[in-house]
Chains A and B, each alone.
Chain A
Amino acid sequence: MRELTGAAAAAGPALAALDRRARWRPAELVFWAAALSPFVLFPAYLQLASQIAIAALFALSLDLILGYAGVVSLGHAAFFGIGAYCAGLLSKYAWGEPVSGLLVSALLAGLAGYAVSFVIAGFRHLALIMITLGLGLLLQEAANSASWLTGGADGLQGIDIRPVLGLFKFDLYGRTAYGYALAVLFLLFLLARRVIQSPFGLSLRGIRENAVRMPAIGAPTRRRIRKIFTMAAAMAGAAGALLAQTTSTVSLEALSFQRSADVLVILILGGAGRLYGGIVGALIYMVARDRFSGLNPQYWYFWIGLLLVLVVVLLPNGILGGLRRLSAWRLRPAS
């Protein structure tokens, strides 16, 4: 039926090109090596560095559903918050070892995501936005009311975090915190990278690019969306657990609309659908917020608002997209 060697040979160059696209770029290796620099170069900023890592992980989890599958969610902080409260409650009532606590929290957040995915998988546009918003608000209200469990507006009390794996104690300088957060971020990043480069990741991009065409090539769209939504929820839960464990605090803010909006801003700033967008966005956003922390929070939101408007109008694909366009423009042959 098919001339085996002929067709295989002809496809060679194209497949090699695809192969090259999937490989690690030198810039990526430099980036991750540089991620170790705070230990040596900025020891005073290690706490900030771990917050950046946590925000980056959270943004990456949102990228999986929004940047790659096209699911717009205004309630993603729900899973972050579930992970955070879970980790906090585990350390308070059960055991305080972080890694196992993180695994359990991520699992629980993933289960919640699985349940929710059945609800959201069939909706698009405004209905989807509203439902995700509504579900997030529901959880916020419930968490507020259940103050016997969550501590309500005062936050969760009595969190007791033990050394990581029983070996690495959380110190005042934040060395352990950053090492731990960075390790979790890197591992989950590797997982996200695999998913995105797999056929499953390709099908997600297909759903984002043309949701109508997917059933017409036989794709079970809802099942795919449910799968990635569950994964993204688990990842967000892991980020939330990290927050609880590195700061030993959990408050209602962790599952608030504010946090859902913040992570959206971070992802869009860096550029959705570009794997590193969440990390770049988190870096810029958190550093800027730290710089301007003396500023009245309201004025901070003025600049964020302006930034959003500018990014949407001028840089539709975020900073990474803008850089890509810039490099493409510079590489164009002079004509």
Chain B
Amino acid sequence: MLASFIGVLFDGFAFGMLLFLLSVGLSVTLGMMNFINLAHCSFAMLGGYVAVSLVNAGWPFLATLPVAFAAAAAVSVVLERVLYRRLYRSSDLDQCLLTIGIVFMSIAGAAWLFGTVQQPVQLPPALRGALQFGPVRFASYRLFLVGTGLALTVLLVAALEYTRFGAQVRAAVDKQRMARGLGIDVDAAFAITFALGSGLAGLGGALAIEIVGLDPAFALTNLIYVLIVVAVGGLGSIGGSFAAAALLGVSDVAGKYYLPALGSFFIYLVMVGLLMWRPAGLFGKRT
């Protein structure tokens, strides 16, 4: 009983780390520019398909991860330059519509290139299998996820707190007009942050294959979860994203394990309730 509970907690937390990787980029860029990028998970999907293609070409799985990151980041830079930049001042609706359009196109593109089947991925032997501690079984891949997630969190927080670039990002999230007035190149900071965030999403997409699978609908099915993490955690907050992702991951796994009949109902209910209580998210800036 306790063993399964710990197992659920661990699996949930691992899923939460995955969600964190997928969501943190969106949270920060939303907080900085208030640009609603619903195509964020398309970048994740791109990372996933890049990883799959490379693995099928003979690359070791771990080596594909940095490439997934870089590919997603590179494509995001192009998209930002060509399209997103024109809509920074536009209404929420226009931004939603543009990015939904991109999502649709990315799904169709993925279906055309790779077909609609689930893409399997070959994990290195070290990541298959599990570690056993007494009655509880910890899957190696999930341990890897937790480790990666925590490491990246520490890296991100350190970068934000201790580097000059991080200070600029924090200023731009906090008060964009004032940051510009102080001479901070907000547009450049945003472009870099956006690339980093999308790259992390790409990395998350590659890592997600083993947990949630990869098919063209990935860009939509996981978007909901990412939006929940961002909305609940608060825009522009890494800590908020971390907490919300962990909360969501555990709730989802626990919900599906203990109350399978309810499906995702519980998650949506929690989200709506939390948003009504705190519209700016748990850690978001209060306007």
Contacts and interface: CB of A to CB of B under 8 A. Distances in A.
Do any CB atoms of chain A lie under 8 A from CB atoms of chain B in the complex? Answer: yes
B112 to A, nearest CB: 7
Given A126-B30, A129-B92, A141-B265, A302 B87 contact: no
Contact of B269 (A130, A138, A145, A309): A138
Contacts of B279: 123, 127
Interface string A313-325: 1001000000000
Interface in A182-241: none
Contacts of A137: 224, 264, 268
A72 interface: yes
A265 B275 CA distance: 26
B100 interface: yes
Q: Is the interface of A mostly helix, strand, loop or mixed?
A: helix
Interface string A128-155: 0111011101100110110000000000
B231 interface: yes
A302 B108 CA distance: 5
Given A126-B231, A309-B98, A313-B86, A131 B104 contact: no
A305 B101 contact: yes
A127 B280 contact: yes
A4 B230 CA distance: 59
Interface string B78-111: 0000010011001011101110111111111101
Contacts of B101: 304-309, 312
Contacts, number: 118
B231 A127 contact: yes
B272 interface: yes
A282 B231 CA distance: 32
B111 A298 contact: yes
B271 A130 contact: yes
Contact of A302 (B36, B105, B269): B105
A226 B30 CA distance: 28
14 contacts: A126-B36, A129-B36, A129-B92, A134-B268, A135-B272, A141-B265, A142-B265, A144-B263, A145-B265, A265-B97, A268-B93, A302-B104, A313-B87, A316-B90
Please name the 4 residue pairs, one residue from A and one from B, whose CB atoms are nearest each other, closest first: A305-B104, A308-B101, A302-B108, A305-B105
